[in-house]
Structure 1
Amino acid sequence: MATASDKSKVTFLGRKKSQGRAAGKRTFLEICRETFLNSFRSDRPKWIILFLLSLVTSFFLFPGILLKPVDYTIGDVAVRDIKASRDFLVENKDLTEKDMEKAAREVLSVYDFDPSAASVNKVLNEAFVLGREYVAKTLEKEQSPVAVPGDSPAPLLNPEAFKEQFFQTLKVPRDDKLFKVLLKQGFPSGIEEAVRKLLSSAYEKGVVSNGALLKSQVERGGIILHELSAKKETTVNEYQRFLDLDRAKTFIRSQAASLKEFTGSSESAEAAAKLAVSHLQPNLTFNQRETERRKDLARTSVKPIYYKIKKGEMLVREGERIGPEHLVKLSEEMKSHNRIDLLGRVPAMAILIAALLSVIYLVGPSTVKTFSKSSRDLLFSAVCLFGFFLMFWGYSFVAEEMSRPTPWVTSRALLFAFPLPCAAMLVCIFQGTQIAVAFSLVISVLVSLVAGGKVEFFVYFFTSSLLAAYGVRHCTERGILIKTGAIVALFNVVLGLCLVMIFGSLYTWESIVASVSGFTGGILAGVIATGIIPLIEMSFGFTTDIKLLELSSLDQPLLRQLMVQAPGTYHHSVITSNMVEATAKAIQANPLLAKVSAYYHDIGKMKKPLYFIENQLGIENRHEKLAPSMSSLILISHVKDGVELAREHRLGKEIIDIIQQHHGSNLISYFYQKAKDRMALKGGKASDVKEQDFRYPGPKPQTKEAGLVMLADMVEAASRSLVEPTPARIQGTVQKVINNVFSDGQLDECELTLKDLHEIAKSFNKTLSGIFHQRIEYPDVAARPAKKARNGNTDQGGSEDAGTKKQDDKGEAEEGLRRLGLS
């Protein structure tokens, strides 16, 4: 009797492979030379791309290094870009002029403000006094109809003449209706006081004629408010406190209703408001003369400056006309320019970069399990490498420009803000941690060369990239990217500060800027990676764990369709996914990829679900009326149909590959044997039946995940043939299926080892034993009809005849093996 320890051991049948020992006698150099030549012959286009990438990158490092210097004079046109090869000082008149203009732009506009409006009040008083005198004289004349002899009163103006005189005194347009109201009430002082209060309330806020101009000047930084009466100036940054003419008129009309205590009636209040609106004038005026005087003073206060031309700075661009300032810079540059010393730098740099990339390309497959030489992966790596290198190259010029206005902000400190760890994150997510380490090494070397070959930049970017890659090695949700970016940001703060203090000065502004820049770079790395991952998935066809999590939801339309159209296949897929998920981690495979692939591996059966035994629920087996060759074609077609459905629903290349490979080139043994039996009955030779016609087209599994799904698919189907699924029988079935697959050579092209197969067998045994565990037999509460007992709950098996049950189980077993092709 086998012990528990014996049951956990599974032996496999293997094929012996003879290996010659002549290779061990060859020298290391011969092996390297042969490896390189064979690789170059098979991957020549990829090698050409690699060397071209190296050459172009080196030109960006030394863009003008091989060009002959040109002696320029004023008025010439630059034939190429010229950069400074060293640091030197140059007087910059343009920069001085810009500073002068900047100083002039920073001068705030001056506005004169007269809140009292005394002149308006004076005119208003004169007009109303004149009106009251006119009313008094009119009443006096009416009360004295008989003229006294000897009196000679002043002649009284007629109403029209006085009306004209009244409005001329007010200096407002003539309004007959308004004059009628004022004349009727005798030009009362209440209306006069109301008009004065309305105007004063508006003037206290400030009334401007050109509100748009005032608003634009306030938004540029504010204005200087010069109060004429108090002779003081204040800076104002709020536009809403002032009123333009339209808003002032609206404001006066809204305030008129509250002045009935002065006017006595609504008609008088309306007249007061109308008169105030007519008399309204701006009391906030733009003093252009004073503003220009202050701008001129600001320009003259700017001193001429000298600035430092730093190494790598652009002196003149291609196509620019040489001016005096260009000539000064170029003359200083040519003093230290020695073409002979710099002649070989570009090819030397190209060889250095090519050597570095070549070593990684050659050594990678033998040292990194996840290294891929596929065109897609190499193209992605090249795009990431050159793209981030090019962005850093451009950002180095931006950093130089940003550091010019402020001497305490150096370009070196600003370079720490570049989000290079984002590249390591992307490579790690799409190609694995080991490849991300090699990628981080190469890109860190290149960007440090752009930064002047300084070791602090290599240390900074390489370590932060490694940390970023480590943080996203198991990225299953987008929040991990942001979290990793935050961790890298905090790490960059400390690292940047330390590097500046080691290679620069202690306790300077540069240290603070470097820390802030490092923090910014880490945060940007996480944010950019989060946003760009979906674009990379669509462009290169990668499948990340984040996308796999989305596909693993059983509410996906394709899985819901599978559940409705092929429920048996759906149930089989769910159990298969549970089996592979529990096993994948033990064999260092991707559990999520294996699980999701198991969900979708049989979606092709939806095209003809009733031709597969798991979906034939109590109906006639349709294969009984078909020729074996036709039945095998139907079974084989579900792989092709599954691939088409997967591509239609954009499941990703990895899942599509597993769907295509999950049967490998297995033999459909049931129909193959059936075809041979029919051939024998017809008097023919069984050997005339071609075995190749009854095999799946392949390819065989290429990855651990594909091999695992194949084994789980076959083991799960075979386990359904067990009459009494005891642990021993389950173990025997698992061993038998894995032995058959291994002996048939289906696992030759994937990375599964014998140790992995042992782990797979143990995990399958454990999972299937849990699925087919024994339950106690519940007693019947009441007698039930025989038919209901046979088709009812399988847990209540007391009313079922044991012999009938065994026959049914045997039939189910034969159907399960027929599906696998194991019988």
Structure 2
Amino acid sequence: MEKLKNNKFQHVFLYAILAVILFVALYSNVKPETLDVELFTVSDQTIYAPTTVEDKVETQRKEQEAYDAVEDQYVLKKEITEKQVDLISSIFDAIIEVRKEEEIANKSEDATSTLLTPEEKVKRLQEKLTPAISDKISEETFLPLVSTTDDELVLAKDAVVTAVNNIMSKEIPIIQLTEAKKQAVEELGYTSLKADVLKAATELTRFSITPNVVFDKDATEEKRQQAIDNVKVAQIKQGQILVEEDELINREVYRKLGLVGLLDNQQSFKPFLGLGLFIVLILIGVVYYFEKKDSPISKKYNSLLLYCLIFAITILLMKIVSLFQKIDYTHIGYLVPVAMGAMLVKLLLNERLAILTCMIFAICGSVIFNEGVTGSFNFSVGVYYLFGCLAAVLFLGEHNLRSKILQAGLFVAGMNVLVITAIMLIRNGSYSNVEIGSYFIMACASGLVSSVLTIGFMPFFETGFGILSTMKLIELSNPNHPLLRKILTETPGTYHHSVMVANLSESACEAIGANGLLARVGAYYHDIGKTKRPQYFIENQMNIENPHNKLSAQLSKNVIISHVTDGVEMLKKHKMPKEFVDIAEQHHGTSLLKYFYHQAKQSNDSIYEEEFRYPGPKPQTKEIAIISIADSVEAAVRSMSNPTPDKIEKLVRSIISDRLQDHQLDECDLTLKEIDIIAKSFCESLKGIFHSRIEYPELTKKQKVK
């Protein structure tokens, strides 16, 4: 229990280490930047806005401009026009009235022979008019009107009333009054009035034309409010240039620098809170994978530690390369061999975890290579990393050769070139040949360096963590390996037996989804202990007497059982993978040596079965269980005199049934359905090995002669 608690603590510690790695790597890319600048000094660098903020001062300024740009709103008052028409009519009516009074006076009996002079008529006219009108219209204006003929006067009245009515039917603000009077005078010019009457009519018209609109406060405020509402909120955009290099920092620039927080020495906690949430989301995915995975906790710890190392190395490479952004290599992120991390995780751990890691690397890369804009994301680099890493993982697939890693690097390089091409086309920008060439070179270098680094790191990780990778298995399956050479030269019968067991085991493992390659290579070494006393095993007894004929059953038993312990010692001595040691140790489980047991039983009835059983343990994995069954099946079928498909199947089923009844398969997680599939696989493989052969005539004839 205490050990389990310690292992859990180790897991938590590694998760914490992973969180620290992410925080340290991304800290500088989200940390709010502060500048030591002074007002009215020259900037020594081009400064970009680190975030998007609202510029309230600029917004208010634009709103005020929009407000001031709206002119006062006026409304046409027809009452003013009617009033002015009535006024001009009343003036002419007063003139006509004065003229009629004179006529009446001349016709009356009391009339004197003396007529009124024009000046007297004007005096009488002014008495009839209001002082306001009398004061504003000179006597010279009235003189022609009171002296002219009635027809001329009527004509003048109609002309003036028409002109005033026409002009004032339109809006006449005070600023357009002069223009309106001018239009009225021009309209009068088309009449046939005498010069002096026309002059008088012109003066009356100019007097009558007056502004006919009044200020509409409500309409004006509504228009101005609409203008304010139409003003967009002013913003300082993230990445916007606030001041160019060698440019003066005036008050406006200084205000904007302060607005985006570049002058505030008190760091904002928001970016770090966001970074913390970001790291938590990444860790949730990693924890979910490792804690859900059904494997021993010690193995989980090794896998997690390995993952942390691969992750740290990849992130460190990103961070180191990102430092070159400061010397104008803004797109240097395309050079990072990020696919290396994905390939190592795929080859050493798991494909699903590798795909998750691809997404994590893409997100981290988009933050690390944010081109100097704090807190922003470089989505181009993120997409580039995602496609490159996924291409590496998917290309490797089931490939098991180191040469495939180099091919994967070439495939990643090609994918990188395609992604960069797509990005450039989507941006629709203009690029020089030098820029395009540099992008393609970085893309190719990223893929190739990824494969080279993967090949370079793999031996260290495999050795350091005792990982039995696919490529390690292929290397161990090489017949030139010292132990395999030892089996082949010293125990050729055992070697042939091991190859047969390997073939049977691999087919059966692949049929149920187990690790066929591990079973094959492990089967090559499962009887390595027989090389210590090869002549005591029947497959190696060529033209020699069986040594067991001279030994007691008890001693023979010890010799046979010792090949398990001898094999374990030899494998450990040569530092072979633990999986091979387990196969050698468990492939007989605790099964009974029936032949020697029955032989001993005949001479001594007090012998117990436990004395003639292998020490075990029983098979713990599917692969070892399959090798265990294949070992017995191959030996049994090889001893048959005339194997037929029916006999083979019956024998295979019998051996498996015997293993089940002897409880040899209790500690591995094989299901009955899988056991049935294994039996069918063995039968198919054995039928192919022991198929019927054509009997050649020449050979038959010789046999008959003999």
Q: TM-score, normalised to structure 2's length? A: 0.60
Q: Which protein has the larger Cα radius of gyration, Structure 1 or Structure 2?
A: 2
State whether structure 2 residue 413 is matched by structure 1 residue 480: no
Q: Superposed, which structure 2 residues align to 1:70-85 within 5 Å?
A: 85=33
State whether structure 2 residue 357 is matched by structure 1 residue 434: no
What is the CA distance between 1:344 and its match in structure 2?
A: 4.0
User: Residues 512 and 677 of structure 2 are in contact (CA less than 8 Å); yes or no, is this contact kept in structure 1?
Assistant: yes
State whether structure 2 residue 320 is matched by structure 1 residue 394: yes
Q: Name 1:732's counterpart in structure 2.
A: 650
Q: Which has the higher helix share?
A: 2
Aligned equivalent of 1:506, options 429, 443, 447: 429
Aligned equivalent of 2:23, options 49, 59, 80: 59
Q: Aligned partners of 2:680 and 2:539: how far apart in 1? A: 26
Change (3 A) 1:505 1:370: farther
What is the CA distance between 1:729 and its match in structure 2?
A: 0.8
SS in 2 for 1:459: helix
Percent identity, aligned pairs only? 32
Q: Name 2:301's counterpart in structure 1.
A: 375
Change (3 A) 1:389 1:64: closer
Q: Name 1:542's counterpart in structure 2.
A: 467
Change (3 A) 1:339 1:632: farther
Cα distance per residue 1:285-315 (max 9 Å; x no partner): xxxxxxxxxxxxxxxxxxxx9399xxxxxxx
**Number of residue-to-residue matches in the alignment:** 488
RMSD value over aligned CA atoms?
A: 4.0
Q: Aligned partners of 1:661 and 1:44: how far apart in 2? A: 29
What is the CA distance between 1:712 and its match in structure 2?
A: 1.6
Q: Name 2:630's counterpart in structure 1.
A: 712
- Range that drifts further, 737-746 or 476-485: 737-746
Q: Name 1:363's counterpart in structure 2.
A: 292
What is the CA distance between 1:388 and its match in structure 2?
A: 1.2
What is the CA distance between 1:384 and its match in structure 2?
A: 0.7
Change (3 A) 1:765 1:517: same
Q: Name 1:306's counterpart in structure 2.
A: 245
Change (3 A) 1:668 1:708: same
Q: Aligned partners of 2:699 and 2:275: how far apart in 1? A: 92
Aligned equivalent of 1:525, options 443, 450, 459: 450
What is the CA distance between 1:715 and its match in structure 2?
A: 0.7
What is the CA distance between 1:740 and its match in structure 2?
A: 2.3
Q: Tell me which amino acid in the other structure corresponds to 1:507.
A: S
User: Residues 371 and 431 of structure 1 are in contact (CA less than 8 Å); yes or no, is this contact kept in structure 2?
Assistant: no
Structure 2 residues without counterparts, runs of 5 or longer? 47-243, 248-256, 370-375
Change (3 A) 1:518 1:56: same
User: Residues 637 and 651 of structure 2 are in contact (CA less than 8 Å); yes or no, is this contact kept in structure 1?
Assistant: yes
Q: Name 1:595's counterpart in structure 2.
A: 520
Q: Tell me which amino acid in the other structure corresponds to 2:310.
A: C
Q: Name 1:700's counterpart in structure 2.
A: 619
User: Residues 414 and 513 of structure 1 are in contact (CA less than 8 Å); yes or no, is this contact kept in structure 2?
Assistant: no
Aligned equivalent of 2:394, options 470, 477, 482: 470
- Range that drifts further, 561-570 or 512-521: 512-521
Change (3 A) 1:470 1:350: closer
Q: Tell me which amino acid in the other structure corresponds to 2:315.
A: F
Aligned equivalent of 2:540, options 603, 609, 615: 615
Structure 1 residues without counterparts, runs of 5 or longer? 1-36, 66-81, 96-304, 309-327, 404-408, 785-795, 800-823
State whether structure 2 residue 599 is matched by structure 1 residue 641: no
Cα distance per residue 1:145-172 (max 9 Å; x no partner): xxxxxxxxxxxxxxxxxxxxxxxxxxxx
Change (3 A) 1:720 1:401: same
What is the CA distance between 1:490 and its match in structure 2?
A: 1.3
Aligned equivalent of 2:478, options 553, 569, 588: 553
Q: Aligned partners of 1:514 and 1:781: how far apart in 2? A: 71
User: Residues 577 and 595 of structure 1 are in contact (CA less than 8 Å); yes or no, is this contact kept in structure 2?
Assistant: yes
State whether structure 2 residue 45 is matched by structure 1 residue 49: no
Q: Aligned partners of 2:305 and 2:269: how far apart in 1? A: 36
State whether structure 2 residue 493 is matched by structure 1 residue 568: yes
User: Residues 14 and 304 of structure 2 are in contact (CA less than 8 Å); yes or no, is this contact kept in structure 1?
Assistant: no
Q: Aligned partners of 1:587 and 1:534: how far apart in 2? A: 30
Q: Superposed, which structure 2 residues align to 1:141-290 within 5 Å?
A: none
What is the CA distance between 1:435 and its match in structure 2?
A: 2.9
Q: Name 1:281's counterpart in structure 2.
A: none
What is the CA distance between 1:383 and its match in structure 2?
A: 0.9
SS in 1 for 2:335: coil
What is the CA distance between 1:697 and its match in structure 2?
A: 1.8
User: Residues 576 and 709 of structure 1 are in contact (CA less than 8 Å); yes or no, is this contact kept in structure 2?
Assistant: yes
Q: Aligned partners of 1:496 and 1:38: how far apart in 2? A: 53
Q: Superposed, which structure 2 residues align to 1:332-347 within 5 Å?
A: 333-335=262-264, 337-342=266-271, 344=273, 347=276
Q: Aligned partners of 2:603 and 2:276: how far apart in 1? A: 72
Change (3 A) 1:87 1:583: farther
User: Residues 577 and 596 of structure 1 are in contact (CA less than 8 Å); yes or no, is this contact kept in structure 2?
Assistant: yes
Cα distance per residue 1:39-96 (max 9 Å; x no partner): 984841332233322331243145579xxxxxxxxxxxxxxxx97637999978799x
User: Residues 619 and 667 of structure 2 are in contact (CA less than 8 Å); yes or no, is this contact kept in structure 1?
Assistant: yes
Aligned equivalent of 1:423, options 341, 359, 367: 341
What is the CA distance between 1:660 and its match in structure 2?
A: 3.0
Q: Aligned partners of 2:384 and 2:661: how far apart in 1? A: 52
State whether structure 2 residue 697 is matched by structure 1 residue 772: no
User: Residues 494 and 539 of structure 2 are in contact (CA less than 8 Å); yes or no, is this contact kept in structure 1?
Assistant: yes
What is the CA distance between 1:385 and its match in structure 2?
A: 1.4
Q: Aligned partners of 2:284 and 2:17: how far apart in 1? A: 12
Q: Superposed, which structure 2 residues align to 1:787-806 within 5 Å?
A: 796=703
Q: Name 2:588's counterpart in structure 1.
A: 663
User: Residues 566 and 609 of structure 1 are in contact (CA less than 8 Å); yes or no, is this contact kept in structure 2?
Assistant: yes
User: Residues 593 and 612 of structure 2 are in contact (CA less than 8 Å); yes or no, is this contact kept in structure 1?
Assistant: no
Q: Tell me which amino acid in the other structure corresponds to 1:55.
A: A
SS in 2 for 1:416: helix
Q: Aligned partners of 2:682 and 2:699: how far apart in 1? A: 37
User: Residues 499 and 524 of structure 2 are in contact (CA less than 8 Å); yes or no, is this contact kept in structure 1?
Assistant: yes
What is the CA distance between 1:602 and its match in structure 2?
A: 0.9
Q: Name 2:196's counterpart in structure 1.
A: none
Q: Aligned partners of 2:9 and 2:545: how far apart in 1? A: 56
Q: Aligned partners of 1:658 and 1:733: how far apart in 2? A: 24
Aligned equivalent of 2:283, options 354, 357, 360: 354
User: Residues 356 and 442 of structure 1 are in contact (CA less than 8 Å); yes or no, is this contact kept in structure 2?
Assistant: no
Q: Name 2:310's counterpart in structure 1.
A: 384
SS in 2 for 1:635: helix
Cα distance per residue 1:692-713 (max 9 Å; x no partner): 76133225142x4333322221
Q: Aligned partners of 1:64 and 1:506: how far apart in 2? A: 30
User: Residues 417 and 440 of structure 2 are in contact (CA less than 8 Å); yes or no, is this contact kept in structure 1?
Assistant: yes
Q: Aligned partners of 1:705 and 1:422: how far apart in 2? A: 30
Q: TM-score, normalised to structure 1's length? A: 0.52
User: Residues 57 and 350 of structure 1 are in contact (CA less than 8 Å); yes or no, is this contact kept in structure 2?
Assistant: no
User: Residues 497 and 512 of structure 1 are in contact (CA less than 8 Å); yes or no, is this contact kept in structure 2?
Assistant: no
Q: Aligned partners of 1:741 and 1:307: how far apart in 2? A: 86
Q: Aligned partners of 1:625 and 1:374: how far apart in 2? A: 51
State whether structure 2 residue 414 is matched by structure 1 residue 490: yes
User: Residues 592 and 609 of structure 2 are in contact (CA less than 8 Å); yes or no, is this contact kept in structure 1?
Assistant: no
What is the CA distance between 1:370 and its match in structure 2?
A: 12
Cα distance per residue 1:746-774 (max 9 Å; x no partner): 34444544444333323322332333334
SS in 2 for 1:666: coil
What is the CA distance between 1:428 and its match in structure 2?
A: 1.3
Change (3 A) 1:694 1:749: closer
What is the CA distance between 1:609 and its match in structure 2?
A: 1.2
Change (3 A) 1:448 1:708: farther
